Amino acid sequence: MYTNVAVRSVTLLLTCTLLSDAADWCYNRSSSDTCDDWGDHYPKCKGKSQSPINIDTHSTKVNRSLDNFMFEGYDEILSDVQMVNNGHTVQVLLNGKNLSVNGGGLDGEYIADQFHLHWGNRTAPGSEHQLNHAQLPMELHIVHHKASYGDLNDSLSKPDGLAVLGFWIDVGKQNTNFDQIVDKLHTIPNKEERANISNFKMADLLPSNCELQNYYRYHGSLTTPTCNEVVIWTMFETKIHLSQQQINTFSTAVMAEGDINLINIFRSVQPLNSRTVQHSQAQSLLLKKTIALLSYTHTHTHARTHARTHARTSYANKRTSL
How far apart are alpha carbons 322 and 315 in whole angstroms? 11
- What amino acid is encoded at 279 in this protein? H
Annotated active-site residue in 88, 116, 241, 279? 88
Q: Residue 220: what are its φ and ψ, rounded to 5°?
A: -150, -145
The answer to whether the CB of 155 falls within 8 A of the CB of 15 is no
Burial class (CB within 10 angstroms; exposed 0-12, middle 13-18, buried 19+) of 234: buried
Helix (H), strand (E) at residue 142: strand 138-146
* Residues 287/289/292/294 CA torsion (nearest 10 deg): -70
How far apart are alpha carbons 254 and 127 in whole angstroms? 17
The answer to whether the CB of 139 falls within 8 A of the CB of 146 is no
- Other C-beta atoms lying within 10 Å of the C-beta of residue 244: 12
Burial class (CB within 10 angstroms; exposed 0-12, middle 13-18, buried 19+) of 49: buried
Beta strands in 199-266 (DSSP E): 215-220, 231-242, 255-257, 260-261
The answer to whether the CB of 18 falls within 8 A of the CB of 231 is no
User: Which residues fall within 8 angstroms of residue 34, CB to CB, at 6 or more apart?
Assistant: none
Residue 88 is a catalytic residue: yes
Enumerate the active-site residues: 88
